[in-house]
Structure 1
Amino acid sequence: MGFAVQRTRREYVRPSSPTPPASLHLSIIDRVVGLRHLVRSLHVFPSPSPSPRLDVTETNKPLPLSSSPPARVIREALGKALVDYYPFAGRFADGEGGPGTARVDCTGEGAWFVEAVAGCSLDDVNRLDHPLAIPEDDLLPDAAPGVTEFTCGGFVVGLISVHTMADGLGAGQFINAVGDYARGLDKPRVSPIWAREAIPSPPKLPPGPPPELKMFQLQHVTVDLSLDSINKTKSSYFVSTGQRCSTFDVAIAKTWQARTRALRLPDPSSRVNLCFFANTRHLMSTAWPVTGHGNGEGFYGNCFYPVSVVAKSGEVESADIAGVVGMIRDAKTKLAGDFARWAVADFKEDPYELSFTYDSLFVSDWTRLGFLEADYGWGTPSHVIPFAYYPFMAVAIIGAPPVPKAGARIMTQCVEEEHLPAFLEEVKAFDK
């Protein structure tokens, strides 16, 4: 059966106090044209189990939880957070060179905010576990982010952000700032810094023809990997190498191998590609402004490097999972050197100019962005549902299953229908 979602309020939320009327330049990474897209996600908060609001008085007593509806609390907190993050209340302005020369005009016009109510409880829709019982567009309208409240008292925060303004860590930092204000803090626990000038700006290569984007009929698939199976692979990798690996390493290794096997490429020497995006804030310790932290804490712009792994399809298919993990770990060890060479323009091909082909898999990790720690006063979300998929790009997103489940959740749009059964069979075999 269908469940109605009614939008009850739409408005621009402006900064709650005056902000500088500046015009800010973006970094060379921000201005990558491919990043001028919307990232959509749903953040599911079950029926309230109030966490004490942080004390900001001298009495050292917990502040009472607000009796206001979550949407009202979040709307007011958003206005306060937009004072600290005032560029988010501004607008893009393209230079003479189009989006590749864009800047941000800090106009203070505000962020679009929508409130809605659902005529059901979260339990009625299986707490929005997959498959979604309510269409994503009903909870996350194309026009704007919003908050939908359910009859049980639970709520969903729908977030739409432009990747040009912030990478995943930056967006998570902003959402946590809204949560800090919602819980009664006088200021965010992490102070934001713009500092786009700190990002290296090597000369761009002469532009070539725009890439031809082939559209694929990619299928949505969501599967969970058990914690036991993940830990077995970690143990196997440690025994064979004496080194540790992460849950992310294991999850993308299994996904890449399952997809490669499912493609059944006739020539085992055919090249298959894996690309994931690594945070590089820690590689720029001398570049940041004096903030008390040399690791870039507080920077919310794009600060990542595309890490590529290229291998023969036969090697990926025949290796055990620990062997595929090794390929990924080897690529990670090259990150510092590759980023340093890019920073001084020591490259023949721009690593940020990506090629989208069916033999390439792009992976994003959503477990460490801070979204799962966001708390508006009713506890942290049970899970986060990203919708960062595009028909020209085979994508796998690594997330966490809804609490209290453990393990890893793989949300993919990476194979066409003819390869879907084999891909599912390979992924599910991991837990056998």
Structure 2
Amino acid sequence: MASSSSSTSTSPCLAFHVKRCEPELVVPAKATPHELKYLSDIDDQEGLRFQIPFIWFYKNSNSMEGKDPVKVIREGLGKALVYYYPFAGRLIEGYKRKLVVDCNAEGVLFIQADADISLERLSNNIQPPYPFLDEVLYNVPGSDGIVGCPLLLIQVTRLICGGFILALRFNHTLCDAFGLLQFMNAISEMAQGAQEPSIQPVWQRDLLSARNPPRITCTHHEYEEAMTGPVNMDQTNLVQRSFFFGPNQIKAIRSHLPPNLRSCSQFELLTACLWRCRTLALKLEPDEIVRVSCIITARSKRRGPGLPVGYYGNTFAFPAAVSEAGVLCKKSLGYAVELVKKAKAEMNEEYIKSVADLMVIRGRPPFIMRGNLIISDIADSKSANVDFGWGCPDYAGPATAFPQISLQVKCRNKEVDGIVVPICLPFLAMIRFEQELEEMTKEVNTYNITPVMITSAL
């Protein structure tokens, strides 16, 4: 296939060329049902109508000598789409903008590319943010909408060392990170010769749809009416940085807690710490109401209705901890941890059913943006286990941060295992955030990424 475009990375530290072929549509390898499939009322939230980029970096493997990752992944994708055929369809809007998948087998967008750089040269740049993301995940014109657009865009970029980068963008209404990784593992299995996925996909979106009659039975601070007034974050001067938390950093932060709270989970600890540092950095009015919304999955029976293995829709709610900014900033970290623990404890089967009912009763309200930080722990999503035959990736996870959303991802940094968290803030607030975080971790340097300017489009 002839090359359709050539571009150069704009990173000040890296200079390399990427040659892309024309985007193509990969369709299921066999005929699939042409039908309409309704999303659940947890899927069909206004706040999930966006696309999320993920990225994987793979080294060369001697055992795959002569194998082309583009061909291997493209063929595996076509076979996996036989089982996950809704991914090859298009969203349409039904009554009251209800999202429905038209399973028409139009296919997912796929791009093959080549870059004149090795993974070794990229080694200091394989944690988000990525100044070269647009080069390894080309935004095909007209492809980034929600309705009537491809639900998945994949680009495989070969590197001169024999390694490659797989970057993709998926429509969040169709699945969450765990559902995406279930699909990616199916692709990897089919690419390596499996006749069918080891985990069969389950649709059954009615399990997380509103009850009849719908009834709101819980308090949902994440959807409360927001205060009026301008957004408290400068959207025109945003920067991204990633912060790495290894054992030393975690131990240092935990030392700020009283003995009765030191057994809190790592997620609770980091969420409370990030929330407090971010609030301090934004310099809000003392009476401003701030929230941290904890994304909690309902996949387990303890937290949800006991969803079947193979369910790949969105399965989470995000109960929010709430405080006045002044109180949160003045009180110790233990205050924030207690609020986060309380919010997490609210998540159960009744809570997520109440969210589904709220979507129907209140007309699908968006989650609050003003004064809200949404944090998700995808450390256990097994994104680092996706193996197409070249072994596990050097990094796997989200490719960017968002102004109101941060993800906690497993990462290995300088031979140390830990958690990396991409953060997006206005430039001056980012400087203050670093200072606050450095104070929490004492003299441990938690960041190693140069800030990258991004636009207000986020």
Same-fold call, TM cutoff 0.5 = yes
Q: Partner residue of 1:298?
A: 310
Q: Does 1:376 align with 2:388?
A: yes
Q: Partner residue of 2:345?
A: 333
Mapped partners of 2:253, 2:76: distance in 1 = 43
Q: Partner residue of 1:182?
A: 191
Mapped partners of 1:348, 1:17: distance in 2 = 40
- Structure 1 counterpart of 2:278, from 240, 253, 259: 259
Q: Is the 8 A contact 1:80 1:178 kept in 2?
A: yes
Q: Partner residue of 1:81?
A: 80
Q: Partner residue of 1:219?
A: 239
Mapped partners of 1:229, 1:319: distance in 2 = 21
Q: Partner residue of 2:174?
A: 165
How high is the TM-score relative to the length of structure 1?
Answer: 0.83
The AA in structure 2 aligned to 1:260 is T
Q: Partner residue of 1:246?
A: 265
Q: Partner residue of 2:299?
A: 281
Question: Greater shift after overlay, 156-165 or 294-303?
Answer: 294-303
Displacement of 1:213: 9.1
Question: Greater shift after overlay, 309-318 or 82-91?
Answer: 309-318
Counterpart mapping for 1:226-237 below 5 A: 226-233=246-253
Mapped partners of 2:202, 2:302: distance in 1 = 14
Q: Is the 8 A contact 1:4 1:119 kept in 2?
A: yes
Q: Does 1:406 align with 2:426?
A: no
Mapped partners of 1:364, 1:145: distance in 2 = 23
Deviation per CA, 1:303-336: give whole Å up to 9, x if none: 2112101012233223443442222111111111
- Structure 2 counterpart of 1:106, from 103, 107, 110: 103
Counterpart mapping for 1:305-316 below 5 A: 305-316=317-328
Q: Partner residue of 1:61?
A: none
The AA in structure 2 aligned to 1:428 is E
Distance 1:154 1:428, change over 3 A: farther
Deviation per CA, 1:215-240: give whole Å up to 9, x if none: 72332122212312214555776931
Q: Does 1:44 align with 2:57?
A: yes
The AA in structure 2 aligned to 1:300 is Y
Q: Is the 8 A contact 1:273 1:360 kept in 2?
A: yes
Q: Is the 8 A contact 1:125 1:132 kept in 2?
A: no
Displacement of 1:173: 0.9
Distance 1:349 1:246, change over 3 A: farther
Q: Partner residue of 1:126?
A: 123
Mapped partners of 2:21, 2:393: distance in 1 = 23
How high is the TM-score relative to the length of structure 2?
Answer: 0.79
Mapped partners of 2:363, 2:382: distance in 1 = 29
The AA in structure 1 aligned to 2:326 is G
- Counting matched residue pairs gives 401
Mapped partners of 1:258, 1:286: distance in 2 = 31
The AA in structure 2 aligned to 1:424 is E
Displacement of 1:180: 1.3
For the residue of structure 1 that corresponds to 2:292, the secondary structure is strand
Q: Does 1:419 align with 2:439?
A: no
Q: Is the 8 A contact 1:275 1:309 kept in 2?
A: yes
Q: Structure 2 stretches of 5 or more lacking a match?
A: 1-13, 141-152, 217-224, 443-458
Displacement of 1:78: 0.5
The AA in structure 1 aligned to 2:103 is C
Q: Is the 8 A contact 2:240 2:422 kept in 1?
A: yes
Deviation per CA, 1:88-144: give whole Å up to 9, x if none: 1111122243xx322111111211111111101011222533576751100001123
Deviation per CA, 1:134-156: give whole Å up to 9, x if none: 51100001123210111111111
Distance 1:235 1:19, change over 3 A: farther
Mapped partners of 2:165, 2:103: distance in 1 = 29
For the residue of structure 1 that corresponds to 2:56, the secondary structure is strand
Q: Is the 8 A contact 2:34 2:105 kept in 1?
A: yes
Q: Structure 1 stretches of 5 or more lacking a match?
A: 51-64, 288-293
Mapped partners of 1:212, 1:166: distance in 2 = 33
Mapped partners of 1:256, 1:78: distance in 2 = 39
Q: Does 1:365 align with 2:399?
A: no
Distance 1:5 1:230, change over 3 A: same
Mapped partners of 1:349, 1:159: distance in 2 = 33
Q: Does 1:18 align with 2:31?
A: yes
For the residue of structure 2 that corresponds to 1:124, the secondary structure is coil
Mapped partners of 2:324, 2:380: distance in 1 = 30
Displacement of 1:277: 1.6
